[in-house]
Structure 1
Amino acid sequence: MFARRSVPPTAPAPEPAPGDPRRPAGPGVELRGVAKRFGDITAVAGADLSVPPNGRLGVVGPSGCGKSTLLSMICGLTGPDAGTIDVLGAADAPGRLARCAWMPQRDLLLPWRGVLANARIPLENQGLTRREASQRVRPLLDRFGLAEFADHRPAQLSGGMRQRVSFLRTVAADKPVLLLDEPFGALDSITRADLQDWLRAMLADEPRTVVLVTHDVEEALLLCDRVVVMSARPGRIVASVDVPPYAGTGAAARRARLADPAFIALRDSVLAHLESAR
């Protein structure tokens, strides 16, 4: 079973200084008239989004509608062909990249590195030594139920465990904006629910701005405070639904939420928008 909290909480981090990429400035994530083409194919057309600092936005839509392309543009790995993107006050690609940690659909683990060595890559890229990076990451291995597999290489892990390592690596980057592309899609239902609960608890303790792409409408409604629906390609935002907050974390709170008639009605509303967006 996945261990959500097996290490003592750490002291709150000091407030970032002005100019630090982790200090909120303006909107968390804002897109205005963003479009992206690949040759003759328009992947995204006129996308407008606004996520407040520490807000959590879920993005759902048909396969191939440009959801992953949207994340790639937000973090600066792909440039838009039209429109503007702002991430915590940064409009240029390097500035956006400095503020974002992106978890792609594929785990992209390095096969010659073990779990710990894969998870510390973003910290090494920030200039920490391997020893310093390992010291920062080891406590997270416990939280993710991976402590006993620290030296295991990807080929020795199940698909679900590889996905956990990928998620751990994203969190370990310690960026203020998390871009999650189907983060739990390869997991079994029990581990998936545990990681959803853990993410809610983590964001309650350590708020981040989150953009979550998922095909699971219930997951989007459980984890986010707003959900937008994208149309079939070319992707456009065709609906936006605010999600009322709910108290508590853990399995009991999640089960109660899923059984709530108001939640069921909200889920059905988003599903109806999805059906009309095809």
Structure 2
Amino acid sequence: MNPRHHFAFFDEGSKKEIRRALLKAVAIPGYQVPFSSREMPIARGWGTGGLQITLSLIGRQDILKVIDQGSDESVNAVSIKKLVQKTTGIRVTDTTSEATLIQSRHRIPEVPLTEDQILVLQVPTPEPLRNVEASEAKTKILHSEEEYSGAWLQLFEQIMKYGRAATGADHPVYVHNRYVMAPSPIPRFDNPQMNQSEALILLGAGREKKIYAVPPYTDVRSLAFDDYPFSIESFDGKSCRQCGSTEVFLDEVFHPDTGHVEFQCNDSSYCLEQLNASPQGKEESSYV
């Protein structure tokens, strides 16, 4: 820990202000709580909202995991881990089950989370109605009146054009049967993991100065019409080229030697855990 900085970078007043916003967000699931987003030593748009939540909550006994689109070793993930470590001295891990605090960009880990864990999601655009209404004042009114016809219209237009919901990521969800919420740009595959999650899920948008939350054991359902039900990305018949896992979110990987597209676990630490659990996998692993 660097003695020139406060523990976890922020002064106690800043932490308290962010914690108060978090308490309100937990009390009103899915509601976007404004907060005074601080200047950070990383650029806005690179996870400042999530990082501010992490720095406000982390304690000396916590164990931190940071992932970026499933990877523990991306530039964004490594940089955030270094900043938190230098200002706290806490331990970091790549193992999901070990972590007490997990900060993520664009993914929810494959390993189910528990009541002893907090998941912090980085959010670029917290307003699910922004594509249909540019005015912040008007979107606040729409939320207060539970007027979500614009979100339903976007979904209808996708079905008319493509024959299905074509949301690649950030598919809006209903939280606690009240607020429509942007779940952060996680793939549709991850949306069901928010429903009745044992872990507390906190979402932060630094550039937009918003914090919102999904408390444990909260109903979260993805927007869908009865005759066009919500569906996740399908990987039927496919498995990870490294560990052989199925029923996980897979990335397409082009193999230059064969000229074929293969598949690999998006969650890198999950893949390594599966390999290490297999004696044969330990010997044959060529994970890159």
Name the structure with the higher helix share.
1
